[in-house]
Structures are given as structure tokens and as C-alpha cells.
Structure 1
Amino acid sequence: MGFFGILGSGNLGNDGSLAVLVSFLRQRYPDTEVDFFAMGPGVLQSRYGAPATSLQWYEANAARFSAVPAPALKAIGRLLDPLRTLTWVRGHDAVLVPGMGVLETTTPSRPWGLPLSLWCLAVAGRLTGARVGLVAVGADVISPGMTRWLITSTARLVHFRSYRDELSRDAMLAMGVEVARTDSVYPDLAFALPTPARRQPHPRSIAIGVMNFRGAEEDRPRAQEMHDRYVAGISHLVAGLLDDDWQVRLFGGDVEDWAIVELIAARMRQRPSPSVLTTHRCASMDDVMSMLVDVGLVVATRYHSVQAALRTCVPTVAIGYARKSDILMESVGLGDYCHHAADFDVDEVIDQVRRLDAQHDEVAQMLAGHNEQQERALGPQFEALSSFLRSAAPPRAVADGDGP
């Protein structure tokens, strides 16, 4: 059994989804051997004690061939990677892509990056007989072009597809992929993550989850402008909360967000007035949720930072970057507390923080009920996945046991 994707490289949401599926396999099919074809093989090998291979030849060999110009090495890698993918897939009965936004372009993504890698995976599965599954993934409608062709072709070639929301399934249908009879929607896999016990929140404590936001793929020409405006807005928000006597914790949902955390923290420390601000470098969804168990409120940008807050029953304001965040917030009754990272009103966000603070206990109780519903709704996802795996593996290689 193989896992494929942007895993182990610092995206906490992706790694959280992977953790759920690895736990599922080890509980239900304890004799199944797993390995990884991923962006962060060293991290995964250390974390799970299983073999891991770099998704991209260039990333694994850039330091080794440092004397060769990077463009030449990348060109070599693009020629080698399809063959490497085929060779890796050949040794598997099934390969899973766990719960990522792999069918969307809500962040910048070139066609020769992950879209091409996924297409190579799907083709390799068809050539070798390995069954490929996209499990609880996210999707959006992509503008016509090479990326859209690669994404829709991948979806048609794989053997199993499920989505984390109706928006994703509808997007695939809008792009011409037949989904009505074959594809199902289940809650995001993160709702199966274990949660730490909630503690009494510190008075007037708030966590701010930031992102290295640069718009979507179509925003590349103005990416720096959008980035600068977002960082300025979040800095203004943090300053306003500190002025309002909030204790602020800054964190990110990806390794690339840490520079933004440090930049905003440095700006705040230049302020003359006394304030309480801390920074938190989280390495997993477990780290994020553990940091949030005694915080009163959250304002966050990354989808899985928002989800970690909701999963921990913390009243939340989302400053998201795609419709998926709105869908998530609407599903828990907080649809009015959504903003877009490209253009949000700081004063309105602060006003909403005050309103949520005033009704904290009521909102937290509502979130607890929602989490219980989502956990129950994930049961059919695991049963569907079990059926898929039984169809992929030789009969005596799979023995059912207890699952999540």
C-alpha cells in the first residue's frame, strides 16, 4: 500500500489527513506494508518507520549536483519523474492520495508540478494494474488549459474518488467528469483526528493563524501586491487586538508560513505599548490543536488551521482564501464569520471577535455537537475505502479488523 502526494514537507493539513489514513490501515489491516512517494520522505520515514521516496528527482538530487545549473537539473527531473513514478507504482496493489486539495488551484500551481505528478500516478496505475484512490480530496473549477486537462484526466483514470464537500464534487461535474453514480462526499478526514481535552481558556486569549498568502494561480501577476496587503492587514488586526488587551498567539499552518509569523511578531515588538504576544511553531495538526486547547478564540487563514480550531471547539473567524473555507464555516453555523484574505475589513473582524467572545460558551457547545456529527458521518467513508482496498489486494493479503 502506497501513499502519494505533498506529504511530510510542512503542510500540516495534508499530514493530518495522512495520519488518519495510516492509523486506519494499521488498525484495520495490521499486516499491510505501507510506503510513501512524497515531498518530504525523510520526515515520513522517521515518523512512520516505513520506506519513503522523494516525489521529485530534482528535490532529492539538487544538493548532490550543485555544480549543475538548477534549470538543467529540473529539466532532467521532469524527464525522469514519470519513469520513477511508474517504477514505484508497479510494486503496489493500491496507492492512496489522502485528503488534500489536489484537484484545485486555490494556491499557485503550475501544470508541470503536482497536476502532472498526479496524472503520471494515474497513468502508472492503469499500466501496472495498481488501483489508485483519491480519498476525501478537495476540488474547484479550473480555467481551461493544461492544468484543467491534467486534473480531469487524472480524475477519470483513477479507480476511487471521494470528496470532502459538495463544492468539490460539483466542481468536477462542472468540468465534465462523471460523478453522479460513483463519487461520494464525506466530512474532511481531519474530523477523525484525536483531539486533546479542552481546558478553561485564558481570559481574552486569541490565536491568529497566518499564511504566506499570494492569491490563486490566476493571481500570479499581482501575487506580491496581494501578499503585501494581506500581511499589512493581519499586522493591523494583531495591533488592534493587542490594543484591546487581548493576549495574542501567532501560528502558521505550513512551514512556509513561519516567516510571516516572525515578520508580524517583529513589527508588534517595536510597538511602545506593553502587550502579550507569543509565537508558536507547530509541526503537526496535533501541535496546533494542543496549542488551542486553552485559547478563547481563533482567527485563521489556512483551511486546516480553521478546521483545527473548529475541531477543538474554539469559536473562530475565518479569513480564508477560497470558497472551501466558507463552506466549512457555514456547515458549523458560522457562515457570517467569513472573510477573504485578499480583501478583509480589520475593524469588522475585531467587532466579530468581540461578538464571539460574548457568546463563547454557546458557540463552543454548538461546535462540539457538530464534531460528533462529523465523526459519525466519516464511518461510511472508511467502509467505502475498505471495499476499495479489498478489490485491490489479493484475498489473503487483507483481513478485516476494527477501524476508526
Structure 2
Amino acid sequence: MLNSNELKVLQIIKENPFITQNDIGKELGLNRSTVATIISSLGEKNIILGRSYILKEETSAVYCIGGINVDRKYNLIGDLVEGTSNPAHSQVFVGGVGRNVAENLGRLGHDPYMISVGGYDQDFEFIKKKSQDFINFQYVKQLHDYSTGSYSAVLNGEGEMQFAISVMEVLNEMDVKFISAFQTILKDAKLIVVDLNLPLETVEYLTEFSRSREIDLVIIPVSSPKMKNLPKSLDGVKWIIVNQDESESFFGVKIKSDEDFDNLIDNWLETGVEQVIVTRGKNYSVYGNNKGKRLKFFPPMTDNVIDVTGAGDSYSAGVIHGHLLGLSPEETIEYAMTNAFYTIQTDSTVREDLNKNKLEEQKNSLKEKGLFKWS
């Protein structure tokens, strides 16, 4: 983070890159040696380059690091009967938490790059073909002796998941050695998104990498079993978006009351994370930050639920979208709720009609109808 004097000096240099240190000092009421120290600090932070005050070019790149896979969805025609075959309709989509978030962001006009791994197979080519219009895939590596990740979900007639199977062994290859090879590009990232398909050591490395370079980092948990890949210390993490089950798994607690649920915010903030949202389905969610702000809010409801599979990823992407726009927590959460609200009314993990203007219009419409409820 830059202090007030650093911000003032930086603004002056942006307006006049050839200004002298004496003139900067006169404008700000500082002596020349103080200005020299500030400029030296900006250089150490890699914000200005060299004695001529060449400004480092700002990047818009968002790096999403995590899973890519093929989603296979099976919608049961009747009730699930265990121990036998069940008739169903099937659909195939591209998926992976990191990839889904990246596609949402690409459709919203951001500049997402994917860092992941897959196999040399038809599933990889299918994912690449379906993703390349919205995600830069140049840093996704193919590995021999592995199949590309896959996720198969069985849904009931209401679109609710009955159970799912995840095949993600290839992601274990995204170890610290693999990720550290990308540090040259990651150091200039506008924001890094990490999903917990990555090994614990890799998440720890990326957390420290982002903290030491003051890069905004967002962590997406994926599922309760994957909480084992989340470090105990989240110092420097900008956002984490979790649900009640994932929180219970991480802290080893059982939520028995609204008070217990509300207290999860304090538990999360004690890990060092700056901002956190904890959701629990149709019930109210909570937000908190390390500056003392707390919010409770209910998601807008619809009877037209077709498929909830992409709800969490679209919600997380809405949070990231609001954060990248520099919006307030309330506005950011409204984008998240809006994106999830309309995603579950489609049969796609990432809705194909999504764009920045449409999301804005939909958010305003829900707000005018009074469907955002805060308490």
C-alpha cells in the first residue's frame, strides 16, 4: 500500500514525468531529501522505473489459478434409487472452479489468464475450444500420463445436487516448483484468484507471494473436503468467499444457531483475511472486513431454478467484478447475488448471455423490485 505522500508524488510524476525533485518539494511543501526518499521508495516498489521517473505500465491482467475440467451433468428423470441404474438426461459443459470464474470475468470485460494443467485428450481440446473466446489459455500446460480433470454431478428434478464425483489428480502436479515458474508474469498481476484444487503448499506459496508484492489475492474454497488445502494464516489475502459447511470444516466447529453463524466472521478475520463472505444457501449470508464493517443480507429468491451447479462460481466472480471496479461491499455483494440469481435459472455453469451491461441492468432491476434484503 502507498502512503499519502507517495500517492501525491506519484500523481505529480504522472502529470509531469520530467519534473525535478525540488519542484515536487515546493508543490507539496516538502524538502528535496524527503522527496528523494519517497521516489526511492516508489522505485523499490517497482512503481516507477529509473531516474527519469518512467512509470511502470499498469496491467489489467487477472490470473486465475486452479481447476479446468469437463462437467458432466445427469438430471434424474425420477427419484434417485440407490444400488441400481437410474434413467437420466445428460449434458456436457466445460468447468473447473478457477476456469468458471475466469470465464465469468472474461464475459464481464476483464482480462483473465488461466494457469492450470490438463492431459493430452479430447476433454482438454473441448475445454480450450469453449474457453478461448473469454480466457487466455497460453499458460495452461498439458501433461503426459494424466487425463484432464472431470466433474460429474447427479441432479434431482429440482436441479439440486444429489451427489458428485470429481477426478482431479492432474492438479496435484501444480506444486510450488510448477507455480514458481510463473512468478515473472504473476508479479505484475492486477489480481490473483486461487481455487483450493491446488495443493496446500502451493496455496501457501501464492499467499506469501501476493502478500510480499501487495497483489490482491482472492481464494475460492471449492468444497468442504478441499478446505485441507487452505493455510491457517491468511495474512494479506484480500477476499475469501466460503459457505457454512466449508467454514465448519476449516474451524472444526458445528453451527447450531444464528449466533454461531454470525461469529464465523470473527473466526475468519482472525486468520488475517481482509474481507470475507459466508453464505448458507437460501438463508441469510454475512460479510465482514478487518475495519469493523459487518453486513447481513438475504439472496433474491426464484422458483425458476434449473441448475445450481454454477451458482457459487458466478457469485465469486460477481464479488471479484465489484472489487476490480473499486465498489463498496454493498454494491459488490449485489453484483454477486445478481450473477448467481440469473445463473441458476439456466442449464449452463456459466450463463451465455452474461456481459457487463446486462449484469448492471439486472442488478438495477432486482434492486428496484426490492429483492435485495439487508438486515
**TM-score normalised per structure 1:** 0.29
Larger Cα-atom Rg:
2
Please identify which structure carries the higher helix content. 1
**TM-score normalised per structure 2:** 0.30
